[in-house]
Structure 1
């Protein structure tokens, strides 16, 4: 971390003066007697507790108001929090009237100490979320970018600072600071990059994974360099002292790796599957994190080094890593880190920037020089690896992102009297400008959904009858498995047209910063106490064994933020050339016959898949398996499948899937085509395609006694609803298309009660909560083809 270059002090003592006034309070007086006992209205705030409570409230509300005002400009949270502090500080509020400035008291050091403690736990969580093992699998591209993005700007900053000190006449402070200004802007910090990618919702995109791996390599390399530099600084030129400082750091790392980490694995082994980690273990770990900060200071390092290394030793993900993140993240990231950023803004005085000094021009030049050097160091390897120019440009901007770690560095320098108010304010403005411009520019440049645009036909309707049918099946929870397997079972896998199933178990990213897409080998020996993913894989392994030579299953586990989990699904569908993605509906039928409340996050995931998928998509509404075991599949001699055909592309795709199912001897298929009584409607080209597909279906099934086709003349949407009700009572599974023309008399009036737009009008009627039939529903959307 760059802040370790300048030593290990971070005093947290802030002096706040306004118009030459410094008003002190007695830190031993905690609570006042209120306004009624005060001679002046601000006497109440000369006591510690009400003062700090008022300062925290002011910081929170002002930063939230600024965030609301900046929302249309797509600004990251760090910008609003720093600007909120600037508005509350000497730049604005401190110059209006000293009597209304709640931060003029010398108690500001208490607020800063609290924010620094929060930052220590933030660094601890950064270590918990960071998975250094991904460096081994990051590839040469990420390794090259990560190392070059550190070494080239750092060397360039060193050379430029030496050249400037030789060419220009500078005062001693400026001569000392010119290198550190360049070096600080040469760093790429993993937490900053991870936060930016999360806010842009591209964390698990192809570019996001590359940026995250490169930033981790750069940050860990920077940490090693900083640790070594600080150790030599502690020695103050004495080799023996420096050697002892390095050895003490090595001893601390050895204790953490060989004593603390095995103890943490012992905690995990003694935590039953699915059970939370005991409260006492969490408390002990948090206490050890604070002690590790004390040890860091004792061995001459920064107070944040110990918690960071301890966090790296904690196994990420569930149960331990996710438990720590869930307990700490809301208070640390939601309150204490914003408090740190806002207090940094409070220290910023834009009035101190004179814009006339030679030193100011030199510092601005060094900042720009470092940013250009890092931009070049990232851009050139990307272009050499033949990355698209827009992606290369986006990655170069991402690696130049600034945020909370840079603010920590500048605060440390300010505390150590290395820089003055003017340089500190310039640095803060640099962070705000970098964070405020890079985020919206990258959001405009990089659109991960571009690669999913459909120029090739990847759907069931246009697949050859003798070709492999490739399906992606998404599983949210174990209860989705039986119905999904039954659907695959009646999809008529055969030697002429086998089915390749790619199963993805979807897990929310908790307790780690890096998303994962894990490929499982189904031939691996079954564990005696399988995890959730292993239980799902075992069920599909059994399904594959039952259908040898006609079914092939490959299992994956996707661990990613739900907001961007569709990237893993769509990317896998594109790579595997699948024709259909099956995703479960976000609600499930309960044992009492009613739909549960569901998860809105999973609903948004379904919507994202529908919008971006490079192939056809089907939403499966499960009403077969109600509280059943993952291994118990519903068994019956005949499965009654109904298909409601109104017309348009989605219905044609659903009919193609139903046509395939009809070839299975255990399936009895009923297709009902609805025809408006008012005559023809819609586009003539769509009607021609509908007639062609229906004609082909009837020719293919004319000798199949298990298929029934009939046409119903329908007056309006109410008549359509009555036919739907009759089909529900007569079938186990109903296939419908998702999208229909709203001008059609077949759906007239039905859209007024549309609760789930992602299911379409007919799918919404079938899934309505007032219908209690145990019939499952498959809502099909055909791939959108670009001309």
Structure 2
């Protein structure tokens, strides 16, 4: 644990100084400790570190999943804070261009990668559709913050579209994992999973806030920040536990729990959310990303042709469909391409998709590696593109919210 956290924090710090997404450095730290580097150079040392006793794998897996849950929880309640929303017409166009078209083409083209399928064919097609469409809210938000773009209409439109898109895609992933686990073997079963998942979302977003308010006033109303932090964590785990009982994907449940917390913009809860985000982002999430890197085996599970084909096809589909969609919303070609590049940032959610689908037995190690590398490279490319655009013209993305449209 010490080595994983040191490697993740050091890698993140290094990449941040190089003006690159921190998550890439955290994964790189894990790659150094994994079979790709340490395992290849000193296999016995790698084995003594990560296979020292029988229960070690289960222990690390527990940290892996807890970090993943906290990543999605904090992503959910930071959506509102970091500027979700946007102009209706462009957001609608972006959702069509970056969700519907890429998902449909990814689903239809799943047969190109059929040799990486381990589980149910339908679940595999759903995962490939999601992989072609996913956008990272945390990574693109961080890029916008680093470049001073978060307050611009451009950033609000991207995050607003990505929020709608990811809610739909996580619902689809819940269906995919249910199908893989035999809980939706036919059309009726799939319909039941969809209804339960949507019911969980509706109950969470529309009824849970009232319950939380009542509990806060009657039970925990007099507590200070420290107990509130504990109760907020309890809320997250309650959502995850209920989702587990209902066979709803627990990663999706953590995101929904975060969205419920975003419904409480109270100044008293703001420091509580920040405490949880700090603990997650600086401890559990780096360990999660380091473990993702540690599980990557670029020596034996890196298929160059497969990875290149997936990245090229999925990126081309998303760039073209999103650019044309933005163009239909009366954006010029340059701005439309900016939207395409920004929405192609897969970052954390792309890695989460790889983690969940691999853990569920839907994809093999080669596709897991391809999805993680696609997430890293697209995040890197977006940061470079937007920085280059700003260097050429500091006012290219317009002013802050309330200024004239971009």
For normalisation by structure 2, the TM-score amounts to: 0.82
Aligned to 2:79: 130
Query: Quick one: distance in 2 between partners of 1:94 and 1:247?
Result: 45
SS across alignment from 1:446: helix
Cα distance 1:299–1:111, how it changes in 2: closer, same or farther (>3 A)? same
Matched, 1:236 2:236: no
Say what the alpha-carbon RMSD is for the aligned residues: 3.5
Aligned to 1:381: 325
Query: Quick one: distance in 2 between partners of 1:264 and 1:277?
Result: 16
Query: Quick one: distance in 2 between partners of 1:75 and 1:439?
Result: 7
Cα distance 1:278–1:229, how it changes in 2: closer, same or farther (>3 A)? same
Q: Aligned runs of 1:321-360 on 2, under 5 Å?
A: 321-353=269-301, 355=303
Q: CA deviation at 1:85?
A: 0.7
Select the structure that is richer in helix.
Answer: 2
SS across alignment from 1:220: helix
- Structure 1 window deviating more from structure 2 (363-372 vs 325-334): it is 363-372
Matched, 1:443 2:387: yes
Matched, 1:79 2:24: yes
Q: Aligned runs of 1:154-553 on 2, under 5 Å?
A: 154-162=103-111, 164=112, 173=118, 176=121, 180-181=127-128, 183-228=130-175, 234-238=182-186, 241-242=189-190, 244-253=192-201, 255-257=203-205, 259-266=207-214, 279-314=226-261, 315-319=263-267, 321-353=269-301, 355=303, 361-362=305-306, 364-446=308-390, 449-450=394-395
- Unaligned stretches of 5+ in structure 2? none
Query: Quick one: distance in 2 between partners of 1:87 and 1:452?
Result: 38
- Check whether the contact 2:93–2:326 (CA below 8 A) recurs between aligned residues: no
Q: CA deviation at 1:307?
A: 2.7
Q: CA deviation at 1:290?
A: 0.8
- Check whether the contact 1:86–1:346 (CA below 8 A) recurs between aligned residues: yes
Q: 1:109 aligns with which of 55, 58, 65?
A: 58
Q: CA deviation at 1:238?
A: 4.5
Query: Quick one: distance in 1 between partners of 2:171 and 2:125?
Result: 22
- Check whether the contact 2:243–2:250 (CA below 8 A) recurs between aligned residues: yes
Q: CA deviation at 1:135?
A: 7.8
Query: Quick one: distance in 2 between partners of 1:183 and 1:154?
Result: 6
After superposition, the C-alpha distances for 1:363-410 in whole angstroms (9 at most, x for unaligned) are 532332121111112111333344344433222111111212211221
Query: Quick one: distance in 1 between partners of 2:299 and 2:231?
Result: 46
Select the structure that is richer in strand.
Answer: 1
After superposition, the C-alpha distances for 1:552-572 in whole angstroms (9 at most, x for unaligned) are xxxxxxxxxxxxxxx53xx65
Q: CA deviation at 1:432?
A: 2.4
Q: 1:66 aligns with which of 5, 8, 11?
A: 11
- Structure 1 window deviating more from structure 2 (109-118 vs 317-326): it is 317-326
Cα distance 1:170–1:302, how it changes in 2: closer, same or farther (>3 A)? closer
- Structure 1 window deviating more from structure 2 (294-303 vs 102-111): it is 102-111
Aligned to 1:121: 70
- Check whether the contact 1:122–1:337 (CA below 8 A) recurs between aligned residues: yes
- Unaligned stretches of 5+ in structure 1? 1-54, 454-566, 577-787
Q: CA deviation at 1:280?
A: 4.2
Aligned to 1:628: none
Query: Quick one: distance in 2 between partners of 1:351 and 1:429?
Result: 14
After superposition, the C-alpha distances for 1:636-665 in whole angstroms (9 at most, x for unaligned) are xxxxxxxxxxxxxxxxxxxxxxxxxxxxxx
After superposition, the C-alpha distances for 1:531-557 in whole angstroms (9 at most, x for unaligned) are xxxxxxxxxxxxxxxxxxxxxxxxxxx
Matched, 1:149 2:98: yes
SS across alignment from 1:351: coil
Cα distance 1:242–1:338, how it changes in 2: closer, same or farther (>3 A)? same
Cα distance 1:376–1:70, how it changes in 2: closer, same or farther (>3 A)? same
Query: Quick one: distance in 2 between partners of 1:306 and 1:292?
Result: 6
Q: CA deviation at 1:86?
A: 0.6
Mark the structure with the bigger radius of gyration. 1
SS across alignment from 2:35: coil
Query: Quick one: distance in 2 between partners of 1:354 and 1:255?
Result: 42
Q: CA deviation at 1:331?
A: 0.7
Cα distance 1:412–1:232, how it changes in 2: closer, same or farther (>3 A)? closer
After superposition, the C-alpha distances for 1:439-476 in whole angstroms (9 at most, x for unaligned) are 122211136742699xxxxxxxxxxxxxxxxxxxxxxx
After superposition, the C-alpha distances for 1:138-187 in whole angstroms (9 at most, x for unaligned) are 3111111123210111111223335x48xxx9587599557734541322
Query: Quick one: distance in 2 between partners of 1:441 and 1:306?
Result: 33
After superposition, the C-alpha distances for 1:552-603 in whole angstroms (9 at most, x for unaligned) are xxxxxxxxxxxxxxx53xx65x659xxxxxxxxxxxxxxxxxxxxxxxxxxx
Cα distance 1:299–1:99, how it changes in 2: closer, same or farther (>3 A)? same
Cα distance 1:243–1:373, how it changes in 2: closer, same or farther (>3 A)? closer
SS across alignment from 1:300: coil
Query: Quick one: distance in 1 between partners of 2:162 and 2:397?
Result: 26
Q: CA deviation at 1:87?
A: 0.8
SS across alignment from 2:250: coil
Query: Quick one: distance in 2 between partners of 1:440 and 1:97?
Result: 35
Cα distance 1:245–1:422, how it changes in 2: closer, same or farther (>3 A)? closer
Aligned to 1:18: none
Q: CA deviation at 1:348?
A: 0.9
SS across alignment from 1:387: coil
